[in-house]
Chain A
Amino acid sequence: MVDILPLSSYPSYIDLLPSIQTCNITNLPENYFLKYYLYHALTWPQLSFVAVVRPKNGYSKSTTPNGAGSAAEQYPKVVGYVLAKMEEEPTDGVAHGHITSISVMRTHRRLGIAERLMRMSQRAMAECHRAQYVSLHVRVSNTAALHLYRDTLGFQVESVESKYYADGEDAYAMRMDLSNMFIDWAEIERKDRERAASDEKEADEGDEVGEVGKKESSAEKESEKMVRVKVGRGLGVGDLVEKNEAQTAQ
């Protein structure tokens, strides 16, 4: 049985990176140094996921913080992964995510692992980084992957990039809009402000926060549909504002 786990968030499975690298070089011709995987895991820790075979006696990680447990419990078999990032310098100026690499071992296909990996990554891109869309490349001959991206997940072909791959094959450049999964940050900030105001804070400080919030809200109008609002408890703004004397200690 296969579990889909976050690579480097909570809990962290970052020690599976060598196994992920092996999964990649076993399955695909496009390979990377470990440092490139590290770069992904440490720059966008929320975006990458790994599929592993659940060890017979569970994971040692879930019982002990670091270490202890058999090798199988500590280093379960990796059968798939998605390595994802935010485009560092988007040419179109729009913040968007990109799938650097995804693969599932031949022995574990048709269990829906790739789909699940993609969905997890896409959601994190939208929630954490407000990625407008996610892009990827796929070999024009890879019908199975194409089916997953287009028919199952809802990607669209943007263009064909000729000779994208080292062996001369063309790639479809595909993308999918993610803005419907955005979290309404403006709304969160508005509620926090309300709460702060009702806590009888000084008016000028409330205004300042307001400006920051406004910028956001104008940008967010169009994505009102399907926004998720997380209702939290009081922010406790008092904790953050009261002790101004700390600043003089700087």
Chain B
Amino acid sequence: MPQPLNSKDASLFRQVVRHYENKQHKKGIKTAEQILKKNPNHGDTLAMKALIMSNMGQQEEAFVLAKEALKNDMKSHICWHVYGLLYRAEKNYEEAIKAYRFALRIEPESQPIQRDLALLQMQMRDYQGYIQSRKTMLQARPGFRQNWTALAIAHHLSGDLEEAEKVLTTYEETLKIPPPTSDMEHSEAVLYKNTVMAEAGKVEQALEHLEKVGHRISDVLAVMEMKADYLLRLDRKADAEAAYTELLDRNPENSLYYDALIRAKGIASDDHKTQKAIYDSWVEKNPRGDAPRRIPLDFLEGDDFKQAADVYLQRMLKKGVPSLFANIKSLYSNPSKRDTVQELVEGYVATRSAEGQSDADNAEFLSSSYYFLAQHYNYSLSRDLAKAMANVDKAIELSPKAVEYQLTKARIWKHYGNTEKAAEEMEKARQLDEKDRHINSKAAKYQLRNNDNDKGLDNMSKFTRNETVGGALGDLHEMQCVWFLTEDGEAYLRQKKLGLALKRFHAVYNIFDTWQEDQFDFHSFSLRKGMIRAYVDMVRWEDRLREHPFYTRMAVSAIKSYLLLHDQPDLAHGPLPNGSTDDDNERKKAVKKAKKEQQRLEKLEAEKREARKAASTKNVDGEVKKEDPDPLGNKLVQTQDPLKDATKFLTPLLELSPQSIEAQSLGFEVYLRRGKHALALKCLTAIHAIDASHPTLHVQTLRFRKALDSLSEPLAPQVAEVVNAEFETLLPKGQNLEEWNDSFLSTHKESVPHQQAGLTCRQLLKPDTKPQCEQDLASTLDSKDVTIETALAGLELLSEWGSNQAAKTAYVQKASSKWPEATLFRLD
């Protein structure tokens, strides 16, 4: 029961609400306290005070007060509503929904409570609940178009396309006169209905509808795209051709339009002549465009290709277009095209360099060609680093100020495996154009690749707002600079500074949380704006937000960090000298030293923070931002349960990127260590389905067998039954393991990663073969196909096998003689 107030206090209470609505927090609190003086147990007033405090950032006190309010007045919808709002502010949506429901039970007619509930239901994707809420809201106020649209969206997202369309049509039928063309809400709602129809597979009807209403719709391009798409899907070739021609008139730089046009014209995919003629006609229409010139290189073959490539390359080299190689390289998956391009450009260089550089045009053409060849020989499918270096040096000689040339030189060093030189050369490129952030970003990235976190950040700070709390790094966090945080974390991981590595990965994880939270305001905003199609697309995208490669990459590194921490708990105190010392005393000494270093860094960081605090109090900025209490990630790294923490990163990874072998194999590693055999096996089965002969799968299959053979306590009977039956298909119990492994090795003789996997299994199966396996592993370096990355993975295997220093040294020496420029092969 709402507790009654006398009329004076009741009017004061209304003032409190008004102050809250106008964000006059202090006045609101003051007025509330005035009421509470006389009515200390007044639930609604206590609740309003709590709400205002929560808005002022005093979350804990607000909760205490809100609970007190509820205790005093369990039957007040205001108390429950506020309780829900506080949970909402804490992002505890489930509890918030419960509280709103209590509030609604008491006050079923309340619009604001119903609205808050609906927003949360949408955020939580409780579509059935959302449909109910939206129906109630529509009944209360059917005059608002938004309410109809919202109900349609609710049905649409829940999968009921028919109902969605019906709701939209019902509203349209209430319109006596067609709204003016300027009514964008109407225009978008009509187009939205059309997309719902098409999504339901009613393409014919959608097209008919579009032809009836399309001419009045303000998003002209969308109507054209949809119409063209429908026509092609319906195989109405002539109309589709016209529609795509119209689209190309608008935007000749969209390859999808050309694809569709060719299809609509019914040109056979091997009729290159006719296709080329079409592209040529578009070149004529748009002489400055790139697409119609470039696309034919994809399908032309032999002499036709050579001729077209010659024209294309010469034109671009003459213009000195720096992106020429980036635009060409996708052709290289076809070796004969790759060789043709090489032959052509080498030919230009041969003739032009003979002509000399007296004329400026020729000089530019020549330097562009050298630059092209430098990139060509630096590319993985046409790599010859010595030639790349020679060409880039010639290009630089001709144009010493060209940032791109210098940038390419750094990239060549990267492929040499020399991160030091790469970073150094990229820094030179940066200095050629200090006002350009792109080259600055590259320089910072290369410094991080060289594990130089400080220099990397220092470079970044030339473009950040360094007055932000936390300085340049703080700004990069605030601006959600995911690439930097990830690279920074990975550099720390390579140095086994796990605290800082985890710190960065968690920061990126939190950014994804923020991005998910960002959609909340649009649940109401977009309905007001009426831009419904974009909103629905956004909602669907948010559902698979963590499928983005930015998440995948970060999560993989985070899980690797936690696995490392689990396997080597001493790393919680900082990086330790490598080489697993069996000597316990040595180990203790190393840990003690690491701990000391950790304390030193903590002290240093605290001092910095104090200095910043002192500085920032001077310039009163208004907003007070809290300093991070754990800037080094020491709390993160001192976790009690690294595997459980890893699971937080793993779950979205497995859910949204199940086709990633790396994700599945990391899933296996985490679940095996957690003793969750069924889940570990599920990951193996998933890899098997993607690539049955994957080297990682081979090793993990054996390790799973060994784990099953040496369980400390037997699996629960039901689990055992499923696991054994399932695993039987991957590796039958009766299989002789050595034969199994030998056959794997002989089947994949040519592949170094497979040899590495086979050798790993051999030394697992017969520990006494380890010295031989180590030698065999070193011999894989003789393979002509071995890459630096694979060779480096081999070195890591030796650590995994627990090999001694002598074996590692032998491997490193061999690798270093093969790649003398590389700095990557080092023993700590």
Contacts and interface: CB of A to CB of B under 8 A. Distances in A.
B529 A27 contact: no
B438 A26 contact: yes
A21 B508 CA distance: 14
Contacts of B225: 6, 9-11
B321 interface: yes
B537 A235 contact: no
A3 to B, nearest CB: 5
Given A42-B534, A192-B178, A250-B142, A4 B253 contact: yes
Contacts of A185: 180-182
A173 B778 CA distance: 64
A9 B250 contact: no
Contacts of A127: 218, 220-221
B404 A3 contact: no
Contact of A38 (B172, B216, B333, B522): B522
A240 B212 contact: no
Interface stretch (B236-244, B289-297, B359-367, B596-604): B289-297
B211 interface: yes
A212 interface: yes
B606 to A, nearest CB: 29
Contacts of A203: none
Interface string A10-43: 1110110011011001111101111100100111
Given A27-B438, A110-B323, A3 B254 contact: yes
A67 B199 contact: no
B323 A240 contact: no
Interface stretch (B539-547, B639-647, B781-789): B539-547
A56 interface: yes
B298 to A, nearest CB: 8
A189 B180 contact: yes
Given A75-B549, A166-B465, A216-B182, A1 B291 contact: yes
A232 B215 contact: yes
Nearest to B321: A110
Contacts of A19: 548, 550
Interface string B510-551: 000011001100100110010101110110110010011110
A65 B199 CA distance: 9
Nearest to A185: B181
B319 interface: yes
Contacts of B550: 18-19, 22
B437 A28 contact: yes
A111 B290 contact: yes
Interface in A150-190: 166, 183, 185, 188-189
Contacts, number: 253
A26 B437 contact: yes
B226 interface: yes
Contact of B253 (A3, A14, A192): A3
B322 A43 contact: no
A116 B253 contact: yes
Given A26-B441, A128-B220, A54 B255 contact: yes
B327 interface: yes
A233 interface: yes
Nearest to A46: B219
Contact of B327 (A2, A26, A166, A183): A2
A111 B321 contact: yes
Given A22-B482, A71-B549, A42 B535 contact: yes
Nearest to A237: B178
Interface in B178-232: 178, 180-182, 184, 195, 199, 211-216, 218-222, 225-226, 229
Contacts of A166: 465
B690 to A, nearest CB: 12
Nearest to A21: B480
A200 to B, nearest CB: 16
A143 to B, nearest CB: 12
Nearest to A36: B518
Interface residues of B, number: 92
B37 interface: no
Contacts of A148: none
B323 A29 contact: no
A112 B437 contact: no
Nearest to A43: B529
A108 B323 contact: yes
A109 interface: yes
Contact of B180 (A71, A216, A240): A216
B216 A2 contact: no
Given A3-B256, A34-B518, A43 B251 contact: no
A66 interface: yes
Interface string A106-143: 11111111001000100110011110000000000100
A222 B195 CA distance: 35
Nearest to B330: A56
Contacts of B716: none
Given A62-B256, A116-B251, A105 B537 contact: no
B294 A18 contact: no
A134 B714 CA distance: 72
Contact of A10 (B222, B289, B298): B222
A205 B177 contact: yes
A235 B209 CA distance: 10
A29 B463 contact: yes
Interface string B535-572: 10110110010011110100000000000000000000
6 contacts: A12-B533, A12-B534, A18-B515, A38-B538, A216-B181, A250-B142
Given A56-B330, A249-B142, 11 more contacts: A4-B253, A4-B254, A9-B225, A10-B229, A12-B534, A26-B441, A34-B514, A41-B538, A105-B438, A107-B326, A240-B178
Interface of B: 142-143, 170, 172-178, 180-182, 184, 195, 199, 211-216, 218-222, 225-226, 229, 250-251, 253-256, 259, 288-291, 294-295, 298, 319-323, 326-327, 330, 333, 403-404, 435-439, 441, 463, 465, 479-483, 514-515, 518-519, 522, 525-526, 529, 531, 533-535, 537-538, 540-541, 544, 547-550, 552, 657, 659
